[in-house]
Chains A and B, each alone.
Chain A
């Protein structure tokens, strides 16, 4: 498995971890009588944890294969990155329009922000998921 594929796997798994934030939001919204609290602390904790884990895992990965880490993207890796961006863009586009739609359903500004964040999250999962799929297929 190449350095880039390992990197994509790490980011993909860490992104899945961020799903805990949306899980907590969904639990709150779906539980009747649950007070709507500000989740800024959970959000920041998850973001910091993801950034730290990204840095640590990539440093370990780079130390294990320094040559691969230093090497620039080759043409196939660039193509994979570009191919993965395309479906992610459409996911983000649909997510953005659906987020705007929530305004017409009486959603609050906070809810709208969470919908946009959800769209970004799914788009990023799509991007890295597509990269992994293409690396696995060997194309």
Chain B
């Protein structure tokens, strides 16, 4: 089994969306600000549902928000 890690562009996307705060994103996604922070830092991999919700907030396809990179 190949190993890898999930990366994301949430920080950049927030910046591009009028510097949306983590709190605003968290409220729109339905999680806590701490969870958004953990996802953004790559410490926590969200469920598919939350990943889709984040992508919907930014109006981008999922693969533009999250990428899986092989080690």
Contact = CB atoms under 8 A, between A and B. Distances in A.
Q: Do A and B bind each other?
A: yes
Contacts of A75: 31, 35, 46-47, 50
Given A137-B43, A138-B43, A139-B44, A77 B35 contact: yes
Grouping DSSP codes into helix (H, G, I), strand (E, B) and loop, the B interface class, with mixed when no group exceeds half, is loop
Interface of A: 2, 4-5, 68, 71, 74-77, 135, 137-139
Interface residues of B, number: 14
Contact of B38 (A4, A68, A71, A138): A138
Contacts of A76: 31-32, 34-35, 38, 44, 46
10 contacts: A2-B32, A5-B34, A74-B31, A74-B35, A75-B46, A76-B31, A76-B46, A77-B35, A135-B34, A139-B38
Nearest to B37: A138
Interface in B25-49: 30-35, 37-38, 41, 43-44, 46-47
Contacts of B33: 2
Nearest to A76: B35
Contacts of B38: 76, 138-139
B69 to A, nearest CB: 20
A77 B33 CA distance: 12
Given A138-B37, A138-B38, A139-B38, A74 B43 contact: no
A68 B27 CA distance: 11
B50 A138 contact: no
Nearest to A2: B34
A76 B31 CA distance: 8
